[in-house]
Amino acid sequence: MSSYQHWIDGAHTAGSGTRTADVFDPATGQASGQLLLAEPADVDTAVSAASRAFETWGQSSVTTRARIMFAFRELLVQHEDELAAVISAEHGKTIDDARGEVVRGREVVEFACGIPQMLKGEYSDQVSGGIDSFSFRQPLGVVAGITPFNFPIMVPLWMHPIAIATGNTFVLKPSERVPGASDLVARLYQQAGLPDGVFNVVHGDKVAVDAILDHPDIAAVSFVGSTPIAQHVHEGASRTGKRVQALGGAKNHAVVMPDADLDYAADHIVAAGYGSAGQRCMAISAVVAVGPAADTLVDKIRERTRAVHVGVGTDPDTEMGPVVTRAARDRVVDHIGQGETAGATVVVDGRDLVVDGHEEGFFVGPTLLDHVTTDMNVYTEEIFGPLLAVLRVDDLTQALDLINANPYGNGTAVFTSSGEIARTFQRAVQVGMIGINVPVPVPMAFHSFGGWKNSLFGDHHIHGPEGIRFYTQGKVVTTRWPHVDEESLAQLNFPTAK
């Protein structure tokens, strides 16, 4: 059994709380560890440590910060296997899938290694006679991150490397279901030479989150998780005057046009729908089959869905592991039943799947529902499991109307061989991240990630250039160094350039 404590000021600490939570191995259904849940006093201790650390870290040179990011990046490479193993054990995803998120998260660190280049300000010579003007950005202070279970390392890495490289100090509240990766990351930062107190981890639940939202010494909050909690965080952090970006849930549609390569589309939809057991915020959950594509497409997806190998994440043959908790499994099973009752056709049914030797594991098989309509719960709710729902429409206009009427706007994709259709789609769809024949269009680290509508509350997308803006505030300086004999030119009128 692993036992997790908070990481504050460069050391593990039990904190003041007595409440605990179990960490589960989703493949066996058994508790594999335990963590201490933070009380508000523990959040306060972490914020105090981060505030003290900011006094020096906020003044450190940008090259010092970059060098620590380079060292941290090397340690992430060296510990990739260990990180992937911890993630797979607590989340259930396959080792290779876990390794993929380590690599995608590390790319944010690689982006942060270039911080000296990105923090270069702008300079205008001679904006008026003898006057120059320049602008630059400075850190905010102590900032906090609150993250979900489904990417135990990648989503926190969307936040803290950029926050720290821009000169802030950080308090992370990771998901209480997957604490292991954050614990290792804290130790790797220390090995990389990051001063104590710059990166802190408090494990906890709603109590810790609300203490973060209320804390007067936290300047900004980044959140990633479900939509109701994203709204709660956005409102709570705004009420206490913090800068906030809160990324929420999703319902991602893949539109398949009749002119698409249907084998290619079916391959990629199955990978995007069932990879990580459908527990990615960019997973495809709704397939919008357009016109005559539908019957053939459903046949091809069925064939591939049946072939998906479900098993334990550590088995190299496994393509899809369990879902994260028993409650998540029950939610998926319940939704399949609701869809069936509402009139959807259950083409592939994952409800009765049992993995030999892991009868208590949180497994549910990949499931395909056809003839789903927009009024069914199986469509209106984010299920976050291996369930693909096929909706049928007549043309591209109907497909766009359907997506645009959905309250979520995280990711979407269109499969087509027409550049004209692709361009119409990318311009008209009200979604933040769009794939053209790419089912999971997660932006690279040097772009920014973010959805629209109920998938993001706040003004800034996360990581990339918007991440740098989120964690910094701008200053503009206007300078004049008059010669001792120079006329002062002072006047009561509003000054204009001469």
- Residues forming contacts to ligand NAD in the complex (CB under 6 A) are 146-151, 155, 173, 175-176, 205-206, 209, 224-226, 229, 232, 247-250, 281, 382, 384, 410, 451, 455
Query: Min. distance of Cβ 236 from ligand NAD in angstroms?
Result: 8
Measured CA to CA, the distance from residue 112 to residue 106 in angstroms comes to: 10
Exposure of 476 in the CB half-sphere (CA atoms within 13 A): 5
Do residues 183 and 23 lie in contact, with contact meaning Cβ atoms separated by under 8 Å? Answer: no
Measured CA to CA, the distance from residue 198 to residue 190 in angstroms comes to: 9
- Here the tokens at position 246 are 């809160």
Pick between residue 336 and residue 433 the one whose CB is nearest to ligand NAD.
433
Pick between residue 33 and residue 291 the one whose CB is nearest to ligand NAD.
33
Query: Min. distance of Cβ 320 from ligand NAD in angstroms?
Result: 17
DSSP string, 237-251: HHHTT-EEEEE----
Pick between residue 302 and residue 331 the one whose CB is nearest to ligand NAD.
331
113 is catalytic: no
Pick between residue 23 and residue 224 the one whose CB is nearest to ligand NAD.
224
Pick between residue 327 and residue 497 the one whose CB is nearest to ligand NAD.
327
Query: Min. distance of Cβ 245 from ligand NAD in angstroms?
Result: 10
Pick between residue 21 and residue 301 the one whose CB is nearest to ligand NAD.
21
What SS3 class is residue 50?
A: helix
Query: Min. distance of Cβ 412 from ligand NAD in angstroms?
Result: 13
Measured CA to CA, the distance from residue 469 to residue 457 in angstroms comes to: 16
Measured CA to CA, the distance from residue 313 to residue 358 in angstroms comes to: 12
Which residue of the chain is nearest ligand NAD when measured via CB? Answer: 225
Query: Sheet harboring 284-290: ordered strands across?
Result: 345-348, 367-370, 387-393, 284-290, 252-256, 411-415, 433-436
DSSP string, 106-162: HHHHHHHHTHHHHT--EEEEEEETTEEEEEEEEE-SEEEEE--SSSTTHHHHHHHHH
Query: Min. distance of Cβ 156 from ligand NAD in angstroms?
Result: 10
Query: Min. distance of Cβ 410 from ligand NAD in angstroms?
Result: 5
Measured CA to CA, the distance from residue 243 to residue 193 in angstroms comes to: 28
Task: Out of 89, 281, 297, 429, pick the active-site residue.
Answer: 281
Catalytic residues: 281
